[in-house]
């Protein structure tokens, strides 16, 4: 059942993003930023946490999950370190995701060459 | 010897001729409906080089060599080259032409560059400043996507109004000698800005500029659209074509019957999934060098108004929220003796 809910919730997030892509003039970058911000806001008002427990990877993998993570990192850091945590928490929490994206892209660039779209 | 006509046109007393033309294209263009008209089709998108940009330079180089070869001239007999492309600081032209050792005028007219080059080249020859000149324009899908939209590795989705940048380069040798096909005159376009801000809908941004230059050409020469066998715009695509026809209709000219768009002709939209059609400097350049000059040489058509269209944006102006102004240049290409 976990898998099914992950699929459904993750799918709904993707469908909503696709609707933004197809029906508005928003460029992909803005759609992505919107997702991250939405995740952070939903986290702040306490809605993303239960969604994450319910849907697991379905809510963690899309960019909204990244936004939620940023917010969570900042919150925890502020709680423990005070004001300075505002500048530390987000980066700390996002470090694994961001660095792995960089490192894996670099490895991929050793093996693959960009190709023309068909 | 008055050669100015009307508000912004020139009618050459001794029309310079198009001595030869060459079109060099990529794989997708080579699979399209115009495949039989092109001189060389390259399967490899980088032409054996390391990057899209170097590949585009090689397209420029090959197109120039081919055009010179077909003209029967030696490259030393070409006095100037007028060249342009879409990349920042014209690197495709620069690296493609540096070994040719011909005096260069680098041009930026976005996708209207083929027309800008032909206009200035024709003026140079008609004015007696050169007996032969070369004009060339190029674009490349990979390098243009990388610069203006998203790198191909990113795998971005394309909306239906988006065009597909043509991988190709068209080169032309203009000459004062007697030629089958001549440039009777030109109408130089103004910048027209309707405030369009959508970089994925260039057709709509450029159509008003094309309408303005076609209108002015007809006014300056006091002719009706029926004078031409074809009025051929560069890369308006399907969206832009509708706007162009409507704008000219509103101003009293119906060009429905004569109008053709290189961007629509160059791909089979259904088969090749190119959405709104082809675009880029190479689009109008290779269609002129291939299809249009062929039809003129066979005298199937005798009078063509060639109107390459350009969107004058940069990635900086666009990201800072500025509009996409358009420009278009009208080149009257006719067979000798009509």
Determine, for residues B28 and A21 on separate chains, whether the beta-carbon distance falls below 8 Å: no
Residue B280 CA to residue B144 CA, distance in Å, equals 8
Last residue of a domain, one of B124, B150, B175: B175
Give the CATH number of the domain where residue B228 resides: 3.40.47.40
Q: Per-residue confidence of chain B (338 residues) as pLDDT tens digits?
A: 689 999 999 999 999 999 999 999 999 999 999 999 999 999 999 999 999 999 999 999 999 999 999 999 999 999 999 999 999 999 999 999 999 999 999 999 999 999 999 999 999 999 999 999 999 999 999 999 999 887 777 777 777 778 899 999 999 999 999 999 999 999 999 999 999 887 778 889 999 999 999 999 999 999 999 999 999 999 999 889 999 999 999 999 999 999 999 999 999 988 898 888 899 999 999 999 999 999 999 999 999 999 999 999 998 998 888 999 999 999 999 999 87
Helices (H), A1-118: 2-23, 28-44, 48-55, 57-60, 63-81, 85-111
Residues 16-35 of A with CB under 8 A from B: 21-22, 25, 27-28
Assess whether B75 and B91 both reside in one domain. yes
> What letter does residue B192 receive in the DSSP assignment?
B
Whether residue B276 sits in one domain with residue B149: no
**Closest residue in B to A108 (Cα–Cα):** B153
Whether residue B79 is found in the same domain as residue B100 = yes
Q: Do A117 and B156 touch (CB under 8 A)?
A: no
How far away is chain A from the Cα of B295, in angstroms, using its nearest Cα?
29
Count of structural domains, chain B: 2
Give the model's pLDDT for residue B142.
94
Residues of B with CB under 8 A from a CB of A: 26-28, 45, 141-142, 150-153, 156-157, 159, 167, 197-200
CB B145 within 8 A of CB B32: no
Are B77 and B15 found together in one domain?
yes
B185 contacts B17 by C-beta, under 8 angstroms: no
pLDDT the model gives residue B270: 86
Shared-domain flag, residues B75 and B149: yes
| pLDDT computed for residue B2 by the predictor | 86
User: Looking at B175, B204, B220, which one is the last position of a domain?
Assistant: B175
Question: Domain containing A40: what range?
Answer: 2-111
Q: How confident is the model at residue B258, as a pLDDT?
A: 96
ipTM: 0.77
B135, B46: one domain: yes
């Amino acid at each position: 059942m976990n898998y099914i809910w992950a699929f459904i919730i993750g799918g709904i997030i993707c469908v909503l993003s696709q609707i933004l892509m197809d029906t508005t003039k928003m460029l992909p970058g803005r759609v992505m930023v919107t997702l991250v911000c939405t995740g952070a806001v939903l986290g702040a008002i306490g809605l993303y946490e239960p969604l994450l427990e319910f849907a697991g990877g379905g809510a963690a993998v899309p960019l909204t999950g990244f936004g939620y993570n940023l917010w969570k990192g900042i919150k925890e850091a502020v709680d423990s370190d005070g004001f300075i945590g505002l500048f530390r928490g987000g980066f700390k929490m996002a470090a694994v995701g961001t660095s792995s994206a960089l490192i894996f892209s670099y490895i991929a660039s050793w093996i693959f060459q960009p190709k023309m779209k068909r | 010897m008055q050669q100015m006509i009307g508000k912004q046109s020139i009618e050459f007393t001794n029309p310079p001729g198009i001595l030869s033309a060459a079109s060099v294209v990529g794989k997708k263009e080579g699979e399209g409906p115009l495949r039989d008209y092109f001189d060389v089709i390259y399967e490899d998108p980088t032409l054996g080089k390391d990057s899209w940009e170097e590949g585009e330079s090689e397209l420029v180089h090959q197109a120039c060599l081919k055009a010179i070869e077909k003209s029967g001239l030696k490259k030393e007999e070409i006095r100037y080259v007028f060249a342009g492309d879409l990349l920042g600081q014209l690197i495709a032209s620069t690296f493609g032409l540096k070994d040719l050792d011909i005096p260069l005028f680098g041009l930026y007219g976005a996708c209207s560059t083929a027309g800008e080059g032909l206009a200035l080249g024709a003026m140079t020859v008609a004015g007696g400043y050169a007996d032969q000149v070369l004009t060339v324009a190029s674009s490349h899908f990979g390098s243009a996507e990388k610069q203006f939209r998203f790198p191909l590795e990113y795998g971005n989705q394309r909306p239906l109004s988006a065009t597909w940048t043509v991988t190709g380069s068209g080169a032309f040798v203009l000459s004062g000698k007697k030629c089958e096909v001549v440039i009777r005159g030109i109408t130089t376009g103004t910048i027209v800005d309707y405030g369009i801000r959508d970089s994925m809908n260039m057709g709509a941004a450029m159509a008003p500029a094309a309408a303005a230059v076609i209108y002015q050409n007809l006014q300056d020469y006091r002719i009706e659209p029926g004078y031409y066998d074809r009025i051929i715009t560069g890369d308006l695509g399907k969206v832009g074509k509708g706007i162009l026809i409507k704008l000219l209709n509103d101003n009293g000219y119906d060009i429905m019957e004569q109008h053709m768009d290189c961007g629509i002709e160059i791909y089979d939209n259904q088969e090749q999934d190119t959405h709104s059609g082809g675009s880029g400097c190479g689009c109008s350049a290779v269609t002129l060098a291939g299809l249009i000059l062929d039809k003129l040489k066979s005298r199937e058509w005798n009078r063509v108004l060639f109107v390459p269209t350009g969107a004058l944006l940069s990635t900086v102006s666009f990201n800072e929220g500025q509009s996409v102004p358009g420009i278009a240049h009208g080149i009257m290409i006719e067979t000798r003796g009509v």
